[in-house]
Amino acid sequence: MQGLSMPQSSKDMNAVDKKLRTIIQAHKLQRFYDPPKYQAVLQKLSSIQFSDIAARWRIGRDLAYDLASLALYDIVFFCDDSGSMLFEENGKRIDDLKFILSKVSDIATLFDDDGISVRFINSNVTGDGIRNARDVQKLISQVRFSGNTPLGTNFDRKVIQPLILGKARSKVAMAKPVLAILITDGEPVGESSDKIIQVIKEAKNSLESTPYGSGAFAVQIAQVGRDAKTQKFLESLDKDPTVGGMVDCTSYYEMEEEEFARNGVPLTPELWLVKLCVGAIDPEYDAIDE
């Protein structure tokens, strides 16, 4: 009836529906989400209390709606386990990595019971179905932080080939597009600096020859630690004419805060984490810090 406010759950679902349709349209995900599958996603999301998410993450309700777009993706973290993660900043970078994995696995599990997958640059330790901080702690305890940072080479070998292209070329339908979130503290070492650009481009091009298209693969690269060279490396990726539109890069919180401030946007740690989660799939976020 006109003049009466809509029930809160209806407001929530209208906002979520609008956000998800925007993401599907932007990345051409209709192959994954025909009407029945899309309605199944909405049905799952209708049981979620977005006010609780907003309170727990200390964010506005609109940002909680943005996080709902994670329901459309399988999430794979590719994590830096090089020696510098342990030795620089008294191991704080590993603590930051644990924090990120714990928060994102917790929120992702709300939207998808499968949790997240985790792979490492050097270690062969793997994690699937990671759902909470306890799972993260158990996984990280198995990893020995040492070695270099062959970011692109091993991202291709451990994530792109088996978890993206392998599935896209399989006779079994690819269930969801993949959001890959790379967490690193330094520039690539042990390979050319443009190797990561090369493997992402090749993956996107290869996906165009599958039924799913290049939108089946989204990439976020985020920094832990205060290394200024790493920030410059990420900036160069974000602005690269050949791959910049395919990835979103998020600098260390305090560095990113300065970028946001230049655009008149205050950045809280929680907003930084939201950007890390959805910056690669929601065009609104990639534009904020550029």
Q: What secondary structure does DSSP assign to 167-222, as a single string?
A: HHTSSSPP-S-EEEEEEESS---SS-TTHHHHHHHHHHHHHTTSTT-GGGEEEEEE
Within-domain flag for 95? yes
Task: Assign 125 to helix, strand or coil.
Answer: coil
Q: Is the pTM here over 0.85, yes or no?
A: yes
Within-domain flag for 268? yes
pLDDT digits (tens, 9 = 90+) for 101-149: 999 999 999 888 889 999 999 999 999 999 999 999 999 999 999 999 9
pLDDT digits (tens, 9 = 90+) for 201-237: 999 999 999 999 999 999 999 999 888 888 888 888 8
Within-domain flag for 262? yes
Q: How many domains does the chain have?
A: 1
What distance lies between CA 73 and its chain's CA centroid?
A: 9
> Where do we find the tokens 């008149």?
264
Within-domain flag for 24? no
Give the Cα separation of 227 and 213 in Å (integer).
Answer: 35
CATH of the domain at 102: 3.40.50.410
- Three-point CA angle 195, 199, 203, nearest 5°: 170
Domain of residue 117 covers 72-288
Give the Cα separation of 116 and 122 in Å (integer).
Answer: 19
Tokens of 143: 């990893």
